[in-house]
Structure 1
Amino acid sequence: MYNHSAARAYQDASSHAGSPREREAALLIKAAAKLQKTKSADTTPAQLDEALTFNRKIWTLFVGELMSEDHEMPKELRQNLVNLGIFTFNHTLRIMTDPKSATVDSLININRNIAEGLRADG
């Protein structure tokens, strides 16, 4: 189940961006920005948790959509994106469990790269 803040962010992006891909790109950029802010030395555990939770919920929405057999995206590409989603879930859990052992850099990079691809295809 997803959090209302992720759904609300999706709805907000829907009203500001044109195509579904542009909306998805906007959400990924927003999640990347939240994660980027957590790299500050004065970030609290609560701020890190909020950014990680937002990112995880966005990816939960995406993976849920990608799992649909009637999704317009080619199956191999969908599977690759689902695999990235699984990676983000596992990496997020690693960070939440031990914040000193892992960084948010890979999550930021994934979000930015996928957003760039969505905008290029949009």
Structure 2
Amino acid sequence: MVLMTFEAYEAVVEESGYQERGRERQALSLGIDRLERIEKGPFSFEDLVQSLLYVRRLWTIFIEDLSHPENGLPDKLRADIISIGLWVIKEADRLREEKSGDVMQLIEINRLIRDAL
């Protein structure tokens, strides 16, 4: 399902604003860089929290935009990306609460979304 979502997203974003996609790519790249630093270690607890909060805030913004009635993406695609975003937020919270130690999944999902832009 995730691969189909990325393909559909890629097809639709080709028609949307280039500058907007560039900003989204930059924001995702920054989040990925922060997550990769955590993956490689060493890091302080504050670094972990700040990095995860950045990713969480970013996806909250994406979800808010996708939830807006004037968003131009098809409803099904919007719902799929919102689902991915909710997973990202949940996983970031699990990492912050030390209920998970797998940062790589977050990195991979964010890369897939960024590269589809």
TM-score range, shorter chain: 0.7 to 0.9
Q: Is 1:28–2:11 an aligned residue pair?
A: no
**In structure 2, what is the equivalent of residue 9 of structure 1?**
none
Moved over 2 A (4+): none
Q: Does 1:51 align with 2:51?
A: yes
> Which residue number in structure 2 is paired with residue 13 of structure 1?
none
Counterpart residue number, 1:14: none
Q: Measure how far apart 1:44 and its partner are.
A: 0.9
Write the distance in 1 (CA, Å) between the matches of 2:44 and 2:102.
14
Asked whether the 8 Å contact 2:55–2:89 carries over to 1, the reply is: no
1:25 positional shift: 1.1
What is the CA-CA distance between 1:89 and the residue it aligns to?
Answer: 1.1
Give a deviation string over 1:50-109, Cα, whole Å, max 9, x none. 10000100101100000011101111111111001110111111111116x322111111
2:40 is paired with a residue of what secondary structure? coil
Which residue in 1 is equivalent to 2:63?
63
Higher-helix-fraction structure = 2
Compare relative contact order (CA 8 Å, sep 6+) and give the higher one, 1 or 2.
2
Q: How many Å separate the matches in 2 of 1:109 and 1:72?
A: 26
CA distance in 2, matches of 1:40, 1:108: 12
**Percentage of matched positions with identical amino acids:** 26
Matched, 1:116 2:115: yes
- Specify the SS of the correspondent of 1:33: helix
Gaps of 5+ in 2: 1-17
Q: Which amino acid aligns with 1:47?
A: D
Looking at structure 2, the residues matched to 75 and 39 of structure 1 have their Cα atoms a distance apart, in angstroms, of: 34
- The one-letter code of the counterpart of 2:57 is K
Match of 1:7 in 2: none
Whole-Å separation in 1 of the counterparts to 2:42 and 2:95: 17
C-alpha contact 2:66 2:82 (8 A) present in aligned 1: yes
Structure 1 runs not aligned, ≥5 long: 1-17
Matches within 5 A, 1:1-122: 19-98=19-98, 101-118=100-117
Q: What CA RMSD, in Å, does the superposition of the two structures yield over aligned residues?
A: 1.2
